[in-house]
Chains A and B, each alone.
Chain A
Amino acid sequence: MSNVLEINDLVVSYRTARGHLTAVDGISLHLAPGETLGLVGESGCGKSSLGKAIVQLVEPSAGSIRVEGHDLSTRSRAERRALRPKIQMVFQDPMGALDPRQQAGTILETPLKLHGLRDAAARRARVATLMEQVGLRPEFIDRLPHEFSGGQRQRLGIARALALNPSVIVCDEPVSALDVSLQAQVLNLLRRVQQAQKVSYLFISHDLSVVEHIADRVAIMYLGKIVEVAPRSALWRTPAHPYTRALIEALPRTDPARHRIADKQVIGGDLPSPYNPPAGCRLHTRCPLAFARCAVEEPKLATIGDGHSVACHLHDAAVAKAA
């Protein structure tokens, strides 16, 4: 089946007081119906900018975004607006994403009104269905966002994203602000929703363990570039990029008999400024395996296995074999 979302050579750049910033630098991705793609990276890697470009909150500088085959960049404003219901977003901070003066029912009803559901009774019925679907009790319909707990607010954010039956939901750090017990509730809810209606998720997170849990495939970003994409089990068991390996090694584990901080191989250095990323491979300033070529020539993302691509000069032999 054809992809619900296709991104090609996407560039997102900003003009800021500190200068020109290319947050997303030539990224290509696709998302199949009902699939979850995890997007992992540390702060400043451009993962949120990518998400915002997909939901048309920022304008890309170059490249294309195709939603169910329709290229957003070649469409008129009105046509792009008509495509908006197809792609919805769930934010990290539901308090900041919900109008504090609107009741839950109004929050859920607004997108239905905006996108042409004229019959008030049908809207009310749809709101009731949505609330039930995300586990909010019907009597909560008159509550304001601050009257909900953090977990309930995120359920409300998910219900709003579902209102227009989207084919893709961009989830930007949806559980990062939640305690672990609530995190589990929200992750389970997202999975149940997907099983019920085959929506695709682009799941953006800094937390590789959460992404490994929820995603079918995982893409790793570093300073505006994708450095590795793989099915989740291949990424975990046979990570190819030194940065992916560093992320996996750094992940805190709950097995003190085998994993103690004193024994960890920790990648050194800080993230370089995204305003002035290193030439060549962007990781070469921190990479323990870097050699001369890494500082001058940028590695291209290339296939090394089934659905597994990596952008690293160390894998040239594997790339040649796969091709």
Chain B
Amino acid sequence: MTAHASPAVLDVADLTVRFRTPTGLLTAVDQLSFSVSAGETLAIVGESGCGKSVTAMALLRLLRSPPAEIGGRHVLFEGQDLLRLRERALRNIRGNRIAMIFQDPLSALNPVLTVGDQIIETLKRHTGLRGAAAHRRAVELLDLVRIPEPARRASDYPHRFSGGMRQRAMIAIALAASPAVLIADEPTTALDVTVQAQILKLLNSLQRELGMALILISHDLGVVAETADRVLVMYAGRKVEERSVLDLFAGPLHPYTRALMRARPRPEELREFLDEIPGIVPSLADLPPGCAFAPRCSVAYEACSATRPALLPSGDGGAVACIRAPLAAGGVVA
């Protein structure tokens, strides 16, 4: 499961997102590179403000510019560079070949249109389907996302749906045009834990059935561990580690990844105190020089604050950006 079994369907190189603010230029995503293959789940994980959602929005150029400035080497998708595509051409990819679902389905759904009509709207926009055929397909899609009595529920308005059902409806809309890539930004964060498991299971099985690439953005290491094939860990706008899910959880190499895992309560392994990560995430307006994690890192030394660590191969198909990585992996670190 390391490297890439099949060629990348989406390849991102040096994506950089800056925001123009009254206090200056903030770099929210800093030279981020990754790729994802058909049938693969890549998770992007990090705490609030790490740039994971901005990354998702930037891929489809959904950020208002100004203040956002999106740059980079390329975002290659089906032979086209999304960074350089005209807005008109991008509209044929957005919601069609690359679809997206969000944390809060209620605000993403139109309250005055029935769920069925919202799917039909997408079908009309991105496929040739019209009239009765579109309606049939909408019901099929609701059935695909396991909504009971799909024909009847198609004529319901979103407020008649529970939180979990709304997220299923969002997934149905996202799948309407059979996308090659689905970006799911914290898709289960607002849901209860039993419903979360249902939705993640659904996404997982749909991805397999349809051979889609899935980019799952999450703050929750548990969700990531159970769902992803590959994991990219972000801190302060940068990739600090990228590994296969098994390698990452068997032996995290970056001190931040390791600290995140140890800060999390684990019922299987109760301890009196959790390992705290001292301090807080640095402000993007005031990033420390060198490694952005250095001021909070238990193994940092002078060199860490001097130069920004390069992203280096970890020997197992992954990569890590830490000059102290072998020390962190050796278990010497508290």
| A interface, CB within 8 angstroms of B | 42-43, 149, 151, 179-185, 187-188, 191, 206-210, 212-214, 232, 236, 246-247, 249-257, 259-262, 264, 266-268, 270-271
Contacts and interface: CB of A to CB of B under 8 A. Distances in A.
Given A270-B165, A271-B162, 6 more contacts: A209-B264, A209-B267, A252-B220, A256-B225, A266-B197, A266-B198
Interface magnitude class on chain B: 35 or more
A256 B245 CA distance: 7
Interface in B169-205: 192-198, 200-201, 204-205
Interface in B45-94: 47-48
Contacts of A260: 226-227
Contacts, number: 139
Given A236-B267, A262-B201, A271-B192, A252 B222 contact: yes
18 contacts: A42-B195, A43-B163, A151-B280, A180-B263, A187-B274, A191-B273, A209-B222, A212-B267, A250-B197, A252-B220, A252-B226, A257-B250, A260-B226, A260-B227, A262-B201, A264-B197, A267-B197, A268-B198
A249 B200 CA distance: 13
Interface string B241-252: 000011001100
Contacts of B226: 252-253, 256, 259-261, 264
A184 B193 contact: no
B270 interface: yes
A191 B270 CA distance: 14
Contact of B265 (A187, A206, A249): A187
Contacts of B196: 250, 252
A261 B195 contact: no
A267 B267 CA distance: 21
B222 A206 contact: no
Contact of A259 (B201, B225, B272): B225
A261 B194 contact: no
Contacts of B201: 261-262, 264, 266
Given A261-B201, A264-B201, A42 B193 contact: yes
B318 to A, nearest CB: 14
A254 B274 contact: no
B240 interface: no
A256 B204 contact: no
Nearest to A41: B192
A181 B219 CA distance: 11
A206 B225 contact: no
Given A179-B47, A184-B274, A262-B204, A254 B245 contact: no
B225 A253 contact: yes
Contact of B270 (A213, A251, A253): A213
A318 to B, nearest CB: 23
Given A212-B267, A261-B197, A185 B276 contact: yes
Contacts of B197: 249-250, 252, 261, 264, 266-267
Contacts of B246: 256-257
B26 to A, nearest CB: 18
Nearest to A179: B47
A151 B276 CA distance: 12
A247 B267 CA distance: 13
A191 B272 contact: yes
B189 to A, nearest CB: 11
Nearest to B195: A270
A188 B273 CA distance: 6
A254 B264 contact: yes
Contacts of B204: 261-262
Interface in B266-293: 266-268, 270-277, 280-281
A181 B249 CA distance: 17
Contact of B219 (A180, A206, A254): A180
Contacts of A181: 47, 259-260, 263, 276-277, 280-281
Contacts of B259: 181
Contacts of B198: 266, 268
Given A187-B274, A253-B225, A270-B162, A42 B192 contact: yes
B223 interface: yes
B221 interface: yes
Contacts of B280: 149, 151, 181-182
A251 B194 CA distance: 8
B266 A180 contact: no
